[in-house]
Amino acid sequence: MKKIAILGSTGSIGTQALEVTDKIPEEFEVIALSAGNNIGLISKQIEKYNPKLVSVKTKEDADFLQKKYLNTRIVFGEDGLLTIAGLNEIDILLVAVSGKIGLKPTITAINNKKDIALANKETLVMAGDIVMKLAKENNVKILPVDSEHSAIFQCLNKRSEVKHLIITSSGGPFRTATKEEMEKADLTQALAHPRWNMGRKITVDSATLMNKGLEVIEAHHLFDFNYDDIKVVVHPQSYVHSAVEYVDGSIIAQIGNPSMHIPIQYALTYPERVEGIETESFDFVKAAKLEFYEPDFEKFPSLALAFEAGKRGGTYPVCMNAANEEAVFAFLGGKIKFTDIYKITKKVFDEYEPIQNPQIDDIISEDEKVREKTRKLIANKI
Ligand code: NDP
Ligand code: MG
């Protein structure tokens, strides 16, 4: 039995992770959970799982919950997440918060020699070099939860014999849209992802293909591949979750129905595979047609920008990630148009002066600096 803590247990990944543990309760003991503002849901989770420790975003919510639940210690804020990450009794930490708040708890848990199931891609985009080096030094496994990276992880037996990584993308809701239609795209259209039901920030990133760009950077760090050896292929059916090409020309792909339960479960039960929540076999005949296309870098310039940021290195990915996230929030708040997300991110990126070989403190301060600048640009309508 593994003792597990989940950061972001009220989110899309977090709730699906709990569904996984519900289905195979003999495999897991839930020790700690964390929420942001969703106090209704975390209350239900406390009642159901009786965790020892819970973190929420604000002190007021923590005080409220502590009065109600006397058997669970309730903490709050960034320190609350770090308290969970520092727990000695856990075997694995699932980092499923969204955004930059995933970074520090991941580092704490690695220093504490705990394996990480990593959904939070921002952690690797911002500080992949540091995190992967630290994991190696501490002999800690970073188990990917992102479906593409889980696929690659499952296909990649011998790193030295693999030539290319092939990351698939559904193409998002605007795959067949014209540039003019994208100029007019509203929030409902951007949030209507054809294949996956995810949190709002990542769903918008999937519409600009920035999500795929972040995943390229994530793959570069996780598997130690040069950017030129990472290919993106649009595959609207989302059955092939990604693939690796070996030096002899063999391509091994991981295939299945689109479901986050499978990669979440694989990260949590690794190295074992057990029967879990997804029981319906993938039906090749029913699937019938698998299509693949070249990504349109002109229509989706965010993808090209992410390759560029990754190749330049230093704090360029930090800048791109922070500017993009602020722009996405502004779009979600109705302040800017869909196509402004890229325009703003690009402007901030072009004017950015990076730090090479940054430390964690540099990364945090650069992230904040870029966010402030981006928010100013948005407030002043660029
Ligand atoms: P959601 O928005 O659904 O969930 C985010 C979680 O983080 C919630 O539990 C939320 O709490 C919590 N949270 C957000 N901000 C804070 C904060 N400041 N302090 C404490 N907790 C906070 O996101 P997803 O589950 O979709 O994504 C989570 C991560 O996983 C992201 O990094 C994403 O890129 C990655 N990912 C997601 C996939 C998916 O299918 N959803 C696939 C691959 C990767 P609350 O809701 O209570 O406020
Ligand atoms: Mg993904």
For residue 201, the CA-to-ligand 1 centroid distance in Å is 9
Q: Which atom of ligand 1 lies closest to the CA of 196?
A: 40
- What is the per-residue pLDDT for 104? 97
pLDDT tens per residue, range 314-336: 999 999 999 999 999 999 999 99
Determine which residue's CA is closest to atom 16 belonging to ligand 1. 36
Give the number of the ligand closest to the Cα of residue 57: 1
| For the CA of 99, the nearest ligand | 1
Instruction: Pick the residue whose CA is nearest to atom 48 on ligand 1.
Output: 36
Same domain? For 10 and 131 the reply is yes
CATH number at residue 124: 3.40.50.720
Compute the average pLDDT of residues 196-225.
Answer: 95
Residue 381 has pLDDT above 80, yes or no: no
pLDDT band, very low/low/confident/very high, at 348 (cuts 50, 70, 90): very high
CATH number of the CATH domain containing 333: 1.10.1740.10
Helix (H, G, I), strand (E, B) or coil at 224: coil
Domain identity same for 124 and 155: no
Q: What is the pLDDT of residues 162-192, one digit of tens each?
A: 999 999 999 999 999 999 999 999 999 999 9
For ligand 1, atom 17: residue with the closest CA: 36
Full domain range(s) for residue 379: 314-382
Compare 197 and 108 and report the one with higher pLDDT: 108
Shared domain check, 153 and 114:
no
| pLDDT score, position 106 | 98
Q: What's the confidence (pLDDT) of residue 382?
A: 63
CA distances from 200 to 12, 42, 99 (A): 10, 19, 12
Is it the case that residue 340 has pLDDT exceeding 70?
A: yes
Average pLDDT, stretch 285-302?
96
Q: Residue 279's pLDDT is what?
A: 86
Pocket of ligand 1 (CB under 6 A): 8, 10-14, 34-38, 57, 96-99, 101, 119-122, 146, 196, 198-199, 202, 260
264 lies in some domain: no
What is the spatial distance between Cα 312 and Cα 358, in angstroms, rounded to a whole number? 13
Span 85-121, pLDDT tens digits: 999 999 999 999 999 999 999 999 999 999 999 999 9
Residue nearest to atom 42 of ligand 1 (CA): 146
- Domain boundary at 144, 161, 181, which? 144
**223 and 364 in a common domain:** no
Cis peptide upstream of residue 105 (ω within 30 degrees of 0) = no
Q: How far is the CA of 337 from the centre of ligand 2 (A)?
A: 24
Interatomic CA distance for residues 39 and 161, integer angstroms: 48
> Which atom of ligand 1 sits closest to the CA of residue 80?
20
267 belongs to a structural domain? no
Q: How far is the CA of 264 from the centre of ligand 2 (A)?
A: 12
Residues 298 and 382 in one domain: no
Residue 128: predicted pLDDT: 98
- Indicate whether 49 and 151 sit together in one domain: no
Q: How far apart are CA 318 and CA 366, in angstroms?
A: 7
Closest CA to 95 of 24, 14, 31, 15: 14
pLDDT tens by residue, 141-158 = 999 999 999 999 999 989
Q: Which ligand is nearest to the CA of 105?
A: 1
Q: Which residues touch 203 (CB under 8 Å, ≥6 apart)?
A: 190, 191, 193, 196
pTM: 0.97
> Taking all residues of the chain, what is their mean pLDDT, rounded to a whole number?
97
Distance (Å) from CA 102 to ligand 1 centroid: 9
| Ligand index nearest the alpha carbon of residue 202 | 1
At 264-273, the pLDDT tens digits run: 999 999 999 9
Q: How many domains does the chain have?
A: 3
Specify whether 6 is located in the same domain as 137.
Answer: yes
- Strands 240-246 and 162-169 turn out to be antiparallel
Q: Is there a domain that residue 80 lies in?
A: yes
* pLDDT at res. 197: 81
Give phi and psi for 232, each to the nearest 5. Answer: -110, 130
* Distance from C-alpha of 256 to C-alpha of 240, rounded to nearest angstrom: 7
- Structural domain includes residue 199: yes
Residue 27 backbone dihedrals phi, psi, to 5 degrees: -90, -25
Q: What percent of the chain has pLDDT over 70?
A: 100
